[in-house]
Amino acid sequence: MPSDKLKAVALNCTLKHGKDPSSTDKLLAEVLAALGRHGVSGETVRVVDLNIKPGVTPDEGAGDDWPALRDKVLASDILIFGTPIWLGQPSSVAKRVLERMDAFLDETDENSRMPSFGKLAIVAVVGNEDGAHHCHAELFQALNDVGFTIPAGGATYWVGEAMGSTDYKDLKVPYDKTVQTTAMLASNAVHLARLLKAAAYPGMP
Amino acid sequence: MPSDKLKAVALNCTLKHGKDPSSTDKLLAEVLAALGRHGVSGETVRVVDLNIKPGVTPDEGAGDDWPALRDKVLASDILIFGTPIWLGQPSSVAKRVLERMDAFLDETDENSRMPSFGKLAIVAVVGNEDGAHHCHAELFQALNDVGFTIPAGGATYWVGEAMGSTDYKDLKVPYDKTVQTTAMLASNAVHLARLLKAAAYPGMP
Amino acid sequence: MPSDKLKAVALNCTLKHGKDPSSTDKLLAEVLAALGRHGVSGETVRVVDLNIKPGVTPDEGAGDDWPALRDKVLASDILIFGTPIWLGQPSSVAKRVLERMDAFLDETDENSRMPSFGKLAIVAVVGNEDGAHHCHAELFQALNDVGFTIPAGGATYWVGEAMGSTDYKDLKVPYDKTVQTTAMLASNAVHLARLLKAAAYPGMP
Amino acid sequence: MPSDKLKAVALNCTLKHGKDPSSTDKLLAEVLAALGRHGVSGETVRVVDLNIKPGVTPDEGAGDDWPALRDKVLASDILIFGTPIWLGQPSSVAKRVLERMDAFLDETDENSRMPSFGKLAIVAVVGNEDGAHHCHAELFQALNDVGFTIPAGGATYWVGEAMGSTDYKDLKVPYDKTVQTTAMLASNAVHLARLLKAAAYPGMP
């Protein structure tokens, strides 16, 4: 019987390498902290520092870092998918991860269930301006296609005024509406992840 | 204590009035039949025959048919949102319904829960050609924004080859892949709806 | 030989009837004024006050106001498509207009040219928060599908900070970035509309 | 005075390396051939074989292949943007290229014109199934944001029936509707590119 202790993994799909400050990082840390208040443990992975090769198979060969990242995703109950907004859209790093998850469609068990079945996906999006809802839409659709469940209020975000240049990481005080949205997101995700961990989708017998 | 018998309502957002044959109707009937095999009862509403007034409030006054339709949606455990594809996008009728649900954002209870919390939304999309995934994306995002939960594999669809003109309602034999997708969708939706009916999201106390 | 005096028509796809103040109206007035500085004349139509019937034909019968609106669109050189953002997406009124333009696909001349060929479409989007780029994307794609040309920098917009509630119409001072974007949009649209008016697409002889 | 001989460059944003057969390649070759019938010369670049580094600047340093590719794009009159569909969306390689073009926003001349002003972007999309219109929408919006003009009928595509697995490259006979769409796309693009080459956008003096 699985432990009822939930695990999360946060994928930071920023374009910035290494320890460069990342607004996406800041929001993901807030999501992880909010989940932590419900007893969920987790870590953030900066995907651009890995070599996630182009392709749609589970393993694209020598040097491919996806198999190890895939293991982390599948060892977690909650996937927190974090992306910055560029030109109103999710990042190329975010898209690369989604493409690699496409392989889940062919990795079904005897009841036609993908390895992601029963896991939750939630979304965290930041940008200087405009584009969050569209990122939610594309990420929800792609993540749901590859087997994840989306809880009520499954996204949190921050964006500034039209054509703005302020970064989330540079805000001096917490932005109340994002803080509240993140708290509700964590509450919903934990509730639903517990239910699905205790009672898996039966699939198609 | 609520009955564990689940109810569904299917919204057909076709542009065609009355009893005109509708491909969306055909797919919605198949979804309802698949849910019926799990003991779920439900009906289809052809939204274009109602007067759903433009606006974003719960009741737009004299002649507005939204309040009654809203009641049907909120009396159900599973919302099946059906739309045809026009120009690669959901119909204007689908958009009108989503706009009216925007009011849920302000109708929260003492724990900040929208009236849609704990209800599932699933999606059924048909077109002569191309556009289903985009409709999924827009519908998932909007329905999730207004409080619905999306189960794994939360959509079923059919579209023909590029620039084709065949209608789903005119297919001579069932299309296996859509049939299987619909069956899995029903299985997942029923499983998750039962869990959420028995254990509501706690919201933010 | 056609006059080289350009005409524009602005479609306001707000959900608000009659003379209710509309942020979309404000932005459309600014676009028309910017076009006016290049000698273009035009007017705004509030679409929700008309009876644009559901359907995809040029004329949906008794009471349909689309044929007259269609004439206005086709008598203009520049279509300014204005929509508010609801749930991160264009309005149902905007979608209704696009659906009616779907008929252009079948109304081609002997050189396979739609009646919209040679006309420009530009886009103006406003919302309390987030969603402009996605509206641009959906509108560009649909309008281009039905034959319109999109000039460089083919959109202007305003949105506030995440989850904000300020309206564009209530801003006390002009928002510089939107003002500049609108000015460039007008310059580009007029330049390209003049070129296309003087030299029509040849189509497929 | 610039030659009136037009040049095109086709970016193949497939995930497949090297000489692996690519359906996107096939459609791009057809677009180039159609343009060639109007006297336009051009070549295809397989972007995944280059090292296009993550980032949003014109040059991301040692080993970055973007500066050379950027030069090719800016030496052309027509950009043909080709992408496969994965999960109903453009590829990560396509997104990477768009991100690098984001830098155009800051590279304006004394009349506030981006280096892409006056150039056309057209789009070619292929997939086993569903997703072309959404790719058109995202690509049109992003490419227009960074300064490109979109001609009437600015896209061509092929996709198969829902959840299908046929590849465009494996079709035994040309698919008439795609062939015709490609021919009209080429005619429109060449006409508009000639007009803009002869009479540049004035920008904001």
- The CATH number covering residue B171 comes to 3.40.50.360
Of A134, A162, A177, the CB nearest to C88: A134
Average pLDDT over chain C reads: 97
Do the domain assignments include residue A205? no
Q: pLDDT tens across B189-199, in order?
A: 999 999 999 99
What is the pLDDT confidence band of residue D205, given thresholds at 50, 70 and 90?
confident
The DSSP element (H or E) to which D85 belongs, if any, is strand D78-86
Do the domain assignments include residue B154? yes
CB D178 within 8 A of CB D124: no
> Which amino acid would we find at residue A174?
P
- Best to test chain B binding among A110, A116, A141 (most B CBs inside 10 Å): A141
Residue B96: both structure tokens together: 């009108």
Do the domain assignments include residue B204? no
Q: How far is B161 from chain D (nearest CA, A)?
A: 4
Give me the interface pTM, i.e. the ipTM.
0.97
Q: pLDDT tens across C76-124, in order?
A: 999 999 999 999 999 999 999 999 999 999 999 999 999 999 999 999 9
Q: pLDDT tens across A136-171, in order?
A: 999 999 999 999 999 999 999 999 999 999 999 999
CA distances to A132, C73, C204, D57 from C108, in Å: 38, 16, 11, 44
If one counts the domains in chain C, the total is: 1
> Which amino acid would we find at residue D146?
V
Cβ D134–B134 below 8 Å, yes or no?
yes
The DSSP element (H or E) to which C97 belongs, if any, is helix C92-101
Q: pLDDT tens across D115-141, in order?
A: 999 999 999 999 999 999 999 999 999
Q: Are strands D155-160 and D120-129 parallel, antiparallel or unpaired?
A: parallel
Closest CA to A139 of A52, A81, A54: A81
Do the domain assignments include residue C140? yes
Residue C1 has pLDDT above 50, yes or no: no
CB D92 within 8 A of CB D47: no
Q: How far is D79 from chain C (nearest CA, A)?
A: 14
What is the pLDDT confidence band of residue D1, given thresholds at 50, 70 and 90?
very low
What is the pLDDT confidence band of residue B3, given thresholds at 50, 70 and 90?
low
Nearest residue of chain A to residue D135 (CA atoms): A138
Place of tokens 């994002």: A178
Nearest residue of chain D to residue C200 (CA atoms): D191
Chain A residues whose beta carbon lies within 8 Å of the beta carbon of residue C131: 130, 133-134
Cβ C95–B89 below 8 Å, yes or no?
yes
CB A136 within 8 A of CB A157: yes
Count of CB atoms within 10 A of residue B45's CB? 20
Closest CA to A22 of A121, A172, A157, A126: A126
Residue C38 has pLDDT above 60, yes or no: yes
What subunits make at least 3 CB pairs under 8 angstroms with B?
A, C, D
pLDDT of residue B18: 87
d(CA B121, CA B104): 14
What is the pLDDT confidence band of residue D3, given thresholds at 50, 70 and 90?
low
What subunits make at least 3 CB pairs under 8 angstroms with C?
A, B, D
Backbone angles phi, psi at B92, to 5 degrees: -65, -30
Closest CA to C126 of C40, C38, C45, C31: C31
Residue B150: both structure tokens together: 């999306």
CB B38 within 8 A of CB B32: no
Helix axes C176-198, C23-36, angle to 10 degrees: 50
CB pairs under 8 A between A and B: 104
Chain B residues whose beta carbon lies within 8 Å of the beta carbon of residue C146: 87
Q: pLDDT tens across D64-83, in order?
A: 999 999 999 999 999 999 99
Closest CA to B95 of B185, B165, B11: B11
Do the domain assignments include residue D79? yes
Rounded average pLDDT over B34-39: 98
Chain C residues whose beta carbon lies within 8 Å of the beta carbon of residue D157: none
Nearest residue of chain D to residue C132 (CA atoms): D141
Helix, strand, coil share of chain B (percent; to 5): 40, 20, 40
DSSP state letters, D100-136:
HHGGGGG---TTS--TTTT-EEEEEEEEEES-HHHHH
CA distances to A159, C21, C98, D174 from A133, in Å: 10, 26, 22, 39
Closest CA to C157 of C121, C130, C188: C130
* Structural domain harbouring B166: 7-198
Nearest residue of chain C to residue B91 (CA atoms): C95
Beta-bridged to residue D25, according to DSSP, are none
Chain B residues whose beta carbon lies within 8 Å of the beta carbon of residue C87: 98-99, 102, 141-142, 145-146
Do the domain assignments include residue B62? yes
Do the domain assignments include residue D182? yes
pLDDT of residue A3: 55
d(CA B33, CA B38): 9
Do the domain assignments include residue D205? no
Residue A67: both structure tokens together: 């198999």
Place of tokens 């306001």: C12
